Amino acid sequence: MIDYEEINLSEEQKREALLPTNDLLFKRIYGKEGSEKITEDFIKAFLGLDVTIEKLQDSKALDINYIDKKAGVLDVLVTNKDGTKINLEMQVGNYTNVEERFCFYGFELFTEQFQKGLQYNEAKKTIGVLILKDDYSKYKGCEDYILSWKLREEKYHDLILTDKLELCIISLEKIKKKVALGEISDKDQIAIWTKFLLNPKELKEEDMNENKEVKEAYDKYNEMIDDVEVRRAAFKRQLDIMEKHAAKQDGINEGKEEAQKQIAKKLLDRGKSIDEIMEITDLTKEEIEDLKC
């Protein structure tokens, strides 16, 4: 069994592994039965929606023993009393194909209700919420911390095909910056929840005294941090993410190197000198000379 003390992570990576943004911890704080009030307050803070949760996702996928089966598994699934489904997904780094995966979850949830026998005119609303810990480069030019998509007509943007499916992307880093600039009050619920997610140690006593749901989430978080098994699983989850990212990066690097070699071969065939090819590609003199063989 893995000893979390011996897991090869830097202190910064260990700290990141044990933040509430770690998807294992995020699920256990917001997705377990008994967390309804916490999650209702969380949704109201970030989406401005008053919800009364009828059901929280309670599948085995939320158990730490199933953490390796992340693919295709929702983080937190809320069913509101009016039938609305709200899926909360936490994403830390590794944004490869994140939009496609996010859209898949949203459309899958929306169509699932018809597979259960619901008529088209009885369709309930589905809201997919992707929470990004970082300020994803693709949306850096957007000032708003929340971006919301519906199925709109390309030319007539006010013409919405249906309001039964909505996808939202939230940047915690943007919220943090707006709080620092005074654009969002540090007393606002969204500011306090963001502080909790990014660094629970920064929460003040007054933050929790005035926000009982945040205090409850904080207590749940500390209980998990005190649990050796949960800590071990959280670190293991972080290692799995890092290994998958490293493997993917290795594949990308190998692909780039192979592409560079193919370019160099064509340049050699055209009579280009080694010095010229070195300027065009990232290959060394020896690597280029090997291609002549």
141-194 pLDDT tens trace: 888 999 999 988 999 989 999 999 999 999 999 999 999 999 999 999 999 999
Ranges in the chain, pLDDT < 70? 1-16, 58-74, 93-94, 238-256, 293
Q: Where are the alpha helices (DSSP H) in the chain?
A: 11-17, 23-30, 36-47, 98-115, 172-180, 189-198, 205-209, 212-225, 228-269, 274-280, 285-290
Does one domain contain both 57 and 140? yes
**Does residue 264 belong to any structural domain of this protein?**
yes
* Residue that finishes a domain, picked among 173, 206, 226: 226
**Does residue 3 belong to any structural domain of this protein?**
no
Does one domain contain both 269 and 187? no
Does one domain contain both 269 and 186? no
**Does residue 2 belong to any structural domain of this protein?**
no
Does one domain contain both 260 and 116? no
* Residue that finishes a domain, picked among 178, 208, 226: 226
**Does residue 261 belong to any structural domain of this protein?**
yes
Rounded distance, CA 271 to CA 45, Å?
Answer: 65
Does one domain contain both 194 and 248? no
Rounded distance, CA 231 to CA 239, Å?
Answer: 12
Nearest to 178 by CA among 203, 144, 147, 207: 144
pLDDT at 265: 83
Q: Strand 146-152 and strand 53-56: pairing? A: unpaired
Are the beta carbons of 260 and 281 closer than 8 angstroms? yes
Structural domain count of the chain? 2
- For 280, the domain range is 227-293
Does one domain contain both 17 and 110? yes
pLDDT at 157: 87
Helix (H) or strand (E) holding 131: strand 126-132
Does one domain contain both 138 and 269? no
Nearest to 38 by CA among 202, 185, 189: 189
Does one domain contain both 265 and 212? no
Does one domain contain both 219 and 281? no
pLDDT at 240: 67
| pTM metric for this prediction | 0.74
Are the beta carbons of 43 and 51 closer than 8 angstroms? yes
